[in-house]
Copies of this chain bind each other. A is one copy, B any other.
């Protein structure tokens, strides 16, 4: 406990009150309307709450001068078109995830989460105090876009498995729904990553069309029902701190008066942090529900042999990316350096604390 020494001198501080003083700068009374396209369906839990929270904060703080309407994918029909729609100005803002654009702009991959990468507080440290935001600006600035952290899911689970993974051999031929970069890592080890539409996942896992799948974690897995049909829930390795993103068309942003720019930036920043905490809360609640209803769910971690091989495959894939593109190298080096320092601290703080209480 840090404690200030209590000076016993009489309190002589000047009295003060909330008083009316000189008139403020002439305010711009115009109403600015912005339209936001989100990648998610209407009323999607947690992710969709982040956009609603942000828009409500902006409207209240601006006394109605900043009105943001939100179109879900049900309306705009282009969940993975958000980058292009904001870039072109068809929408002023977007809410999505940076790694969805890696096929279009490879260096967007690094601003969501990385296998074996930083946890949420580590990654927020990198974004806000360790140069991450500046690197994201560099990647997105070329496209007339601004990108900001848009809410964190927290550590994602490794997924639901029908059979135990006890060795590297158990990965060979494993049919798993695991999209994106993590799928590439597993493919290097002989697994067969597949992509299956969300609506068909439950049946595919139940009928053993696939052996395993990953989705998010208890916050969003509960409603999918996978815990009813798969006995093993593996702890995470591939998305330790999935950060969504707010996208803004730069020209549209620059047309806003300075106070509304600051209101918008602060509303996004608060909504992002809030989503991290809401995700934590929802995962805690939903995990308790799952365990109550299905007490036999077995939580497993991959054995060292598997973790080591996945790390090696991951390192190799990243080395290829760094070798091919100087900006990719710059970003990856920045992340690796930050992770090293931040993890040394995490290990002697939260990890040591949590371990000391679970012996």
Binding site for B on A (CB under 8 A): 1-7, 9, 11-27, 29-35, 37, 39-41, 47, 57, 60-65, 71, 73, 75-81, 84-85, 89-92, 99-100, 116, 119-122, 124-125, 128-130, 153-157, 178-180, 182, 195, 197-198, 214-218, 220, 233, 235-240, 242, 252, 255-259, 262-263, 266-267, 269-270, 273-274, 276-278, 280-281, 283-285, 287-288, 291, 299, 301-302, 304, 307, 338, 341-359
Contacts and interface: CB of A to CB of B under 8 A. Distances in A.
A2 B276 contact: no
A259 B129 contact: no
Contact of A1 (B7, B60, B179, B299): B179
A13 B237 contact: no
B40 A30 contact: no
Q: Is the interface of A mostly helix, strand, loop or mixed?
A: mixed
A153 to B, nearest CB: 8
Contacts of A255: 18
Contacts of A57: 262, 266
Given A79-B6, A79-B7, A349 B129 contact: no
B155 A79 contact: no
A61 B61 contact: yes
A307 to B, nearest CB: 5
A338 B116 CA distance: 29
A288 B180 CA distance: 34
Contacts of A12: 76-77
